[in-house]
Every structure is written in C-alpha cells, then in structure tokens.
Amino acid sequence: MEPELAAALAQHFPEAGFVATLPGRPKEFLALLQRKDGEVSLLATDCLQGVFRARLDSEALQELRRGAGMAEFEWTTFLGLLRAALKGEEGCTTTAHPEPGGAALRLELRFRLQSAVLLSSLRLPAVASLPPTPSAEPFLQELRGFFLGALAAERAERPAVAFASGISATSASSGVSPSLGRSPLASQAHFPDTLPPGAPGAPGVPGAPVPRPAAKKRAPGSLVDPHARKARRSGKPFQLCG
C-alpha cells in the first residue's frame, strides 16, 4: 500500500470506526465503518432486509476514486470527501438503494466541490438476508427502533460527558473544588489565604518590604540652636558667674 494512502486512511477512518445514517428506501440504513488491516470495512443494515458489506482495499478505493472523476486528487482529499459523503456533511450525501431480491445494497455517492458535484456508486453484497417470515416483522421493527434510539441517546450524551470531563479536569488541575470554584466569595470566606493582598486578614507576601512605623514628632526647640533647650534642662537654672 502506498504510504500516502495509508496515512490518509489513518486520518479519516479510525480503527474504532464510526456509525453513519444513510437515507434509503423504504427506511434509512445504519452503516458501520472501520479501518482493518489497511482497508475500510463498510457494514450496513436496516434490521429488516438484511446485512450488507463491502471491503474497500487499495484497488477498490482506486476504482472508486477513478469512477468519481477524481483520479488526480490526492488520497487525503478524496478520502475526506468520501467520509463526508457517508456522514452527510459539507454538502456531500449518500443514498442507499436495495437491489431487487435483496442481493445487494447500492450506495449513490454525491461529492460536492464548491460549485461542482461529482457522482459515484458503491455496491455492497448481502452477507445475510432475511427470509420472508411475516411473523418476525414486529420483532425486527422493535429491534430497529431500539438500535436507532440507542444511537440517538449515545450521540446526545457524548457532548454532555465531554463537557463534564472538561470541568473536572480543570478543577483538578487548579486544586479547587467545582462548588467553591463557582463562588469567589465562598472561597475567600473559608480560606483566608485566597484573600487579595492588603485585605483584612490577608497573609503577608514573602519578600515584600515591611512598612516601618511613623517617626515620633520632635518637640519644638530653638530655631538657632536645637540643643539649647536640652542644655538648659540639664544645667542649674540659677548659676552665678565668678
């Protein structure tokens, strides 16, 4: 496999895979896409008509790219458009059409390139077909509803879980509990160390200069000789000169 193709596959198709919803007739299909052993595995079903699968190795991907008129496109560009078409994003779409008799499922791919639209198709042979048993249809309808509901719930829960995880990670890195982190007043009321410098009760800042007390005012003395008053106090008040 070409190194460019291998790198593009790893970029657009993770090994864990992803689920896409494909509009179809009479009902939509669920598609599971995974990267396995250097190829893309595409599995689709509507839980009613059967299970269909296609394995896209390097030769199948080259044929699909050539059939869409994008033979000169880089692999990362083409596979990005293929992923967008399967997920119904960026103006690209995929429509599923079961063949008569349930032998295969045909996918019609529409790739939008700004003002142009390129078309291609992909055939998924059936790997399991449902025999005509009308008594099993109610069960399959309920099974289909369960899978669609579980998928919708998982997609709706994913952003909420990611948001909660982000809050927990931020609180853990800062060392502040989420409840106290929402209210600075509560944090300052319980932890005086968090008070701003200069506030009452705030601890001193290491290395900051300690303010000196103001000097006492000196008693007024003589403007001519500041020490004259002191000298008069220490001497005798009445001294005769000989």
Residue 54 is predicted with a pLDDT of 95
Quickly tell me which residue has 């960026």 as its tokens: 90
Token digits of residue 73: 């496109």
Q: Is residue 80 part of a domain?
A: yes
Q: What interhelical angle do 3-12 and 75-87 show, nearest 10?
A: 30
Token digits of residue 184: 């600075």
Decide: 22 and 43 in contact? Cβ < 8 Å: no
21 and 118 inside one domain: yes
Determine the Cα–Cα distance for residues 59 and 79; give it in Å rounded to an integer. Answer: 14
100 and 154 inside one domain: no
Token digits of residue 204: 């001193």
Residue 100 is predicted with a pLDDT of 87
Domain of 160, in residue numbers: 137-171
47 and 151 inside one domain: no
Residue 64 is predicted with a pLDDT of 95
8 and 89 inside one domain: yes
26 and 103 inside one domain: yes
**Cis amide leading into 26 (omega within 30):** yes
Q: Is residue 92 part of a domain?
A: yes
Q: Is residue 190 part of a domain?
A: no
Determine the Cα–Cα distance for residues 178 and 76; give it in Å rounded to an integer. Answer: 42
Determine the Cα–Cα distance for residues 180 and 30; give it in Å rounded to an integer. Answer: 45
76 and 159 inside one domain: no
- Give how far Cα 164 sits from Cα of 96, 160, 180, Å: 37, 6, 16
Which of 130, 156, 190 finishes a domain?
A: 130
Q: What is the CATH number of the domain that holds 44?
A: 2.170.210.10
Residue 212 is predicted with a pLDDT of 63
7 and 126 inside one domain: yes
Q: Is residue 36 part of a domain?
A: yes
8 and 51 inside one domain: yes
126 and 57 inside one domain: yes
How many domains does one find in the chain? Answer: 2
Token digits of residue 108: 């019609």
54 and 83 inside one domain: yes
Q: Is residue 67 part of a domain?
A: yes
167 and 101 inside one domain: no
**What amino acid is encoded at 17 in this protein?**
G
Q: Is residue 69 part of a domain?
A: yes
Q: Is residue 63 part of a domain?
A: yes
Spell out the alpha helix ranges (H) of 175-212.
178-181, 184-190
36 and 126 inside one domain: yes
Residue 199 is predicted with a pLDDT of 52
Which of 79, 101, 130 finishes a domain?
A: 130
Spell out the alpha helix ranges (H) of the chain.
3-12, 58-67, 75-87, 137-174, 178-181, 184-190, 228-234
Q: What interhelical angle do 58-67 and 75-87 show, nearest 10?
A: 80
Determine the Cα–Cα distance for residues 219 and 201; give it in Å rounded to an integer. Answer: 36
- The one-digit pLDDT tens for each residue of the chain (242 residues) are 788 999 999 999 988 888 899 998 778 899 989 998 889 999 998 888 888 999 999 999 999 999 999 999 999 999 999 999 999 999 999 999 999 888 999 999 999 998 899 999 999 999 887 666 677 667 677 777 766 676 667 667 666 555 555 555 555 555 544 444 444 444 444 444 444 555 555 555 455 555 565 655 555 554 445 555 544 454 555 454 44
Which of 148, 171, 194 finishes a domain?
A: 171
The reply to whether the predicted model has a pTM over 0.75 is: no
Q: Is residue 225 part of a domain?
A: no
